[in-house]
Amino acid sequence: MKSYKSYSPGEPIIWAGDEMRYVGSIVSGVASLSQTMEDGRKQMVGLLLPSDFVGRPGRSHAAFDVEATSEVTLCRFERRPFEKLLNDVPHLRQRMLEMALDELDAAREWMLLLGRKTAREKISSLIYIIAQREADLKPGNGSVAVEFDLKLTREAMADYLGLTLETVSRQVNGLKKDGVIDLLGKRQVRIRDIARLLQETGDDADGGMPV
């Protein structure tokens, strides 16, 4: 019932419309959840990092494309037995509901980014979020990783942010030029000024002013 499978960068894990025989969770690497329009316009709708769940119990066909962005290892369960388990173990269903609600909140945050943020705010937000999630995985130090690998091409970032890859490139280098981040290699980022980065995201920096 349980098995592991690896995928190389760019490899599809499942296409929208395919039958889903498995559900699973990411063990290592980064995968992307995305939609594509007939004319090729593409939008990532989720970034799947280690511990994230893939697939939807109770649905036989995939609604979105899932692709490996970096080298990915997936831990898979056959969907049917998993659904049975879900019925038998109330705790598990509780857990699934929490995950779904967290993802819903994340999706809604992303809607604000896509609909209303500028290109620079979008890039800053993405870097900040990846730094945060990176730090969650390797606990210890502060609450945000200072140096890490983006594990995304400029094109993948563009697809996530609703921009073109050229704009992504310009904005990343803009943040570097302005001393907010350093680039050590194309995808290796060091955050030079975390407060400044947070400010550049356009998000409420200081959690609301009490009157």
- Write out the residues near DNA by the rule CB under 7 A: 9-10, 118-120, 153-155, 162-170, 172-173, 183, 185-187
One residue of 29, 31, 46, 67 binding a copy of itself per CB under 8 A: 46
Per CB under 8 A, which region of 52-60, 70-78, 130-138, 189-197 contacts a copy of itself? 52-60
| 71 Ramachandran zone, left/alpha/beta (phi>0; psi -120 to 50) | beta
Backbone phi, psi, residue 197, to 5°: -60, -45
Site for a copy of itself in 12-41 (CB under 8 A): 17, 33, 35, 37-39, 41
**Nearest distance in Å: CB 49, DNA:** 18
101 binds, among a copy of itself, DNA, none (CB under 5 to 8 A by kind): a copy of itself
> Got the DSSP string for 65-77?
EEEESSSEEEEEE
172 binds, among a copy of itself, DNA, none (CB under 5 to 8 A by kind): DNA
**Nearest distance in Å: CB 133, a copy of itself:** 18
> Got the DSSP string for 180-210?
SEEESSSSEEEES-HHHHHHHTTS-TTS---
With respect to DNA, which residue has the nearer C-beta, 123 or 144?
A: 123
How far is it, in rounded angstroms, from Cα 114 to Cα 158? 11
Give me the residue label for tokens 């990532």. 44
**Within 10 A of 4 (CB to CB), how many other CB atoms are there?**
10
169 binds, among DNA, a copy of itself, none (CB under 5 to 8 A by kind): DNA
With respect to DNA, which residue has the nearer C-beta, 52 or 71?
A: 71
Which value, in Å, is the radius of gyration of the alpha carbons in the chain? 18
Calculate helix-pair angle for 90-116, 79-88, nearest 10 degrees. 110
164 binds, among a copy of itself, DNA, none (CB under 5 to 8 A by kind): DNA
